[in-house]
Amino acid sequence: MRRRRPASAPLPNRPLLHPLAAAVLGLAGLAALPATIPAALAQTTPAATAAYAIPAGPLSQALYQFAASAGITLSFDPALTEGLRSPGLHGTATVQQGLDALLGGSGLQAVRGDNGGYHLRKLQTLGQPGVEGERALSEVQVTANQLGEITEGSGSYTPGTIATATRLVLTPRETPQSISVITRQEMNDFALNSIDDVIRHTPGVSLVTYDSERTVYFSRGFAINNFQYDGMPMRRNSAYSAGNTLSDMAIYDRVEVLKGATGLLTGSGDPGATINLIRKKPTGQFQGQLSLGAGSWDSSRTLADLGGPLNQSGSLRGRVVAAYQDKGAELDHYRRRTSVFYGVLEADLTPDTLFTLGVDYQDNIPKGSTWGGIPLFNSQGDFNDTSRSYNPGARWSNWEQYTRSAFATLERYFANGWTAKLQLNHQINGYDAQLGSVGSGYPDPADGSGTSLWLGQYVGKTVSDAADVYASGPFQLFGREHELVLGASAAKRRWTNKGYWPGGYDGTVADFYGWNGDVAEPDWGASSWKGENDETTRESGLYAALRLNPADALKFILGSRVANYRDEYVKERGVVVPYAGVVYDLDPRLSVYASYTTIFNPQSNKDESGRNLAPEEGKSYEIGLKGALDGGRLNATLAYFRVKQDNYAEESGGLTPSGDTAYRAVQGVITRGIEATLSGELAPRWQVQAGYTHRVSRLDGEKVSTEDPEDQFSLFTSYRFSGGLEKLTLGGGGRWQSKSWATVYNPVYGSVKHTLDARWLVDAMARWQFDKQLSLTLNINNLLDKKYYTMMSMYNTYSWGERRNAMLTLDYRF
């Protein structure tokens, strides 16, 4: 393992990124701390000697620290080091001498491979072909900024370690909470080029399409609005979408979805899940990727990815990624063009101090955008059936969304195993939308009359600045080693928005069924209504997490956050968000766990008097079993969860003084459910990602949150052949969800329950690897061409799901 030290519609003015000069000055103060590890991040040759100060302790931890200090790649099956300890290493040694010293008495040996990396083998299996000890292992990298192990290059559908839950870098089995990770390999295999694609592969998470530019994700009955980027929290405004659910995956190593409440690190947030996008990192050796793709509806995609050392010693490393996608759709007169750029630098300021600086941006420019979807019913009260290519949006309708990010981190590694880290993040999410879509009214099935355009222009952005600083490391107590994290964070988000409704424009649609989107765009300057928003949210907090190790088989994780929150309507100070977890190993492969945390989520919903509802509060419990089979190559979870939520927003049936939908706060919404997941390698060259979730939410015995299906199942798998077919990889899978429903308004029958049928969606892939560098991959989505739709009950509209489509990608790596 390798470890370098250690709703409406909105869009942009293309604001420039703020300079990070002040941030860099602040980081420099941490960099000035005295060095305590003489050798670390510099590239080390096998014959070179360096000084090391690695304490005695668990063998795996000693190997992590040595690999980081020596700047080498070290691969091994975690099962090999299970329960073993190392005598440590103090003094000068070559890489091989150091590894031999650390492995003394363990029965293991470090062997250098042709690629310059090292792997472990049992001494008694050396030279015996066909035994498990000789099984080829993928190189696994531990990221320098303590975010967990890099999945790129692992070939696996399961992660090594993660840190989303508590800042502690733990394996999935050691984390007392359900988590699903979509790795770089799975994204490559199934052409998961967008966050929507990733969510469709994530067990226990469903997706609802509001319109062509806006999707909403649900987990355990709750909408997901908590996003993180490299662990830095960012709240999404789902009504005024600004890039979060259009994120292109070209720049990310993996996507982690942590189920349940995550208040320890985020402070406020929904109890359903948090989505953490982990960016790609610079590489120690030069590497590159070029790919070209072409697909259905004249879609195309181009990607370039280059990384490696920028000086002779390798102390400065960089990476750049650029992608461009021209996405067509079966929707008439609709396209979306997406451009992405990402650049990142890593610098070893001293042998034990790592500085990272990076920027990324993404532009999403559509034409023919829908807004709210297609009217659900016709004037006779029947389902308003249209073709799947029907586009209610005008040809000029567009909802541009963009992101601009700059980030910096400084990490300091100490000889006693402790790490200090400062992370700064500046992000702009913006939108610039001129929208016109046939959504108002109910069309007459005889002549198509009875509908008109929804019209609006929205321009706005959210500017977010966040800082997080923490220290983590081991300590001794009662003769055993434990771990501690102490941290503080602060964030500020400012949302500005201007909205316009054009006066004097006749938006009547003469014939709904003959509509082709060809109408004149309004003169937005002649606005008869204008609305403005300028809202600032500030959050700060102190947090701590303690992992106690009272016995080899028993671990406790105790933590808490003291959170402060302030916006235009809510001011809360000293809110305590506790976290408690326990993991007990039943045997070397199976553990039982339990966790508990609370919910704190300020909300913008208003009652009929115009007052904001009190923050949502509640408690979240989870118990279950976790298995790490075949040395962690295959991870499994079986969990039961229960969430109690107070101040749940329920429509009151009235309106606010401003005419918006009014809500009332209700108490005691109970959500119960089970979740089972499986990810990783079933057998050599056979990868799988699978899961089943069942949950029910009730209030006073009545079901709520019914737009999120109560039952979901997904299974995606790929197999790389051997022998005469070793160049071929085949894969496929599907996702099933049970029926879902909501109460909507019908022009004939009034309020009715409208049900969406259960459905299966099936995908397939095939890859031919011409040689180590060149491959050709075919991906087919919705293979059986299932016809289905999702519903936006708030506005009585629906959107068709994509029909069968394909993408052929030629990929060259060097």
Q: pLDDT (tens digit, 9 = 90+) per residue, 124-171? A: 433 333 333 333 333 333 333 478 888 998 899 999 888 887 888 888
Q: For residue 723, which phi and psi values (nearest 5 degrees)?
A: 70, -135
> How many Å apart are CA 580 and CA 586, to the nearest integer?
20
Across residues 574-596, what is the average pLDDT? 94
> How many Å apart are CA 543 and CA 461, to the nearest integer?
29
Percentage of the chain modeled with pLDDT above 70: 88
**Domain annotation covers residue 49:** no
**Domain annotation covers residue 47:** no
Give pLDDT, residue 53: 67
**Domain annotation covers residue 723:** yes
**Domain annotation covers residue 254:** no
Contact between residue 643 and residue 220 where contact means Cβ atoms under 8 Å apart: yes
Look at residues 361, 442, 373, 372 and name the one whose alpha carbon lies nearest to residue 404.
361
**446 Cβ partners below 8 Å, 6+ apart?**
none
Assigned token pair, 768? 């031919």
Higher pLDDT, 629 or 765: 765
pTM: 0.83
Helix axes 95-102, 59-70, angle to 10 degrees: 170
Say how many domains are in the chain. 1
Q: pLDDT (tens digit, 9 = 90+) per residue, 88-137? A: 776 667 788 788 878 876 778 888 775 667 888 776 433 333 333 333 33
Q: What angle do CA 594, 600, 603 make, to 5 degrees?
A: 140
Range of the domain at 496: 287-813
Give pLDDT, residue 49: 63
**Domain annotation covers residue 168:** no
Kindly report which listed range (35-39, 589-593, 645-649, 800-804) carries the lowest average pLDDT score.
Answer: 35-39
Look at residues 534, 541, 369 and name the one whose alpha carbon lies nearest to residue 462.
534
**Domain annotation covers residue 251:** no
Look at residues 578, 698, 597 and name the one whose alpha carbon lies nearest to residue 261.
597
Contact between residue 355 and residue 408 where contact means Cβ atoms under 8 Å apart: yes
Give pLDDT, residue 83: 66
Whether the pLDDT of residue 501 is over 90: the answer is no
Whether the pLDDT of residue 686 is over 90: the answer is yes
**Domain annotation covers residue 228:** no
**3-class secondary-structure state, position 628:** strand
CATH of the domain at 410: 2.40.170.20
**Domain annotation covers residue 153:** no
